[in-house]
Amino acid sequence: MGQLTITRRGGAEGVAILDLTDDICRGEQNIILKQTIRSLVEQDVKKIVLNFAEVTKIDSSGLGEIVSGYATVQMAGGDLKLVNLNSHVSEVMTMTKLLTLFDVFHDEVEAVASFPFSPSDVHTMFIDRNIVKVKAIA
């Protein structure tokens, strides 16, 4: 079983992209995910994207932590979105009907652009080498 690693990247003003690598299963890995999400909310980062591109396995304990993280962000007035689900993660989330809870995207640019941005937010954001134009909400 691999050890979960989390790498934080910024997608735009107020958006955190968390790249998850390896397994999200029972054990210390879940504590790291929970602490990371809680820490972001405490820092007033309420727009979070979890990138599953490198996740190899997830179990019920891992799903529970993702739901817990979602609830933490929602209670703080934010949103947590998922991107790049592989077939295993997608299958597990479909079987548990959790796909209906989350906004899921195949493309990171779309996931970040789906967050509402106020006129005071940056109107152009850089994600890797892609430029996304964001329409401000009046």
Q: Can you give the CATH number for the domain in which 28 is found? A: 3.30.750.24
Q: Quick one: pLDDT at residue 118?
A: 64
| Cα angle: 132, vertex 50, 40; to 5 degrees | 95
| Cα-trace Rg, the chain | 15
Please state the rounded mean pLDDT for residues 40-59: 94
Q: Is residue 76, in this structure, part of any structural domain at all? A: yes
Q: Quick one: pLDDT at residue 102?
A: 95
Q: What is the pTM (predicted TM-score) of this model?
A: 0.83
Measured between alpha carbons, how far is 21 from 127 in angstroms, rounded to an integer?
Answer: 19
- The model's pLDDT over 68-99, given as tens digits with 9 standing for 90+, comes to 999 999 999 999 999 999 999 999 999 999 99
Measured between alpha carbons, how far is 23 from 64 in angstroms, rounded to an integer?
Answer: 14
Domain of residue 67: give its range. 5-133
- The model's pLDDT over 88-137, given as tens digits with 9 standing for 90+, comes to 999 999 999 999 999 999 999 999 999 987 655 544 444 544 444 444 44
Number of domain units in the chain:
1
Q: Is residue 138, in this structure, part of any structural domain at all? A: no
Q: Quick one: pLDDT at residue 138?
A: 39
Q: Is residue 101, in this structure, part of any structural domain at all? A: yes
Q: Is residue 92, in this structure, part of any structural domain at all? A: yes
Q: Is residue 99, in this structure, part of any structural domain at all? A: yes
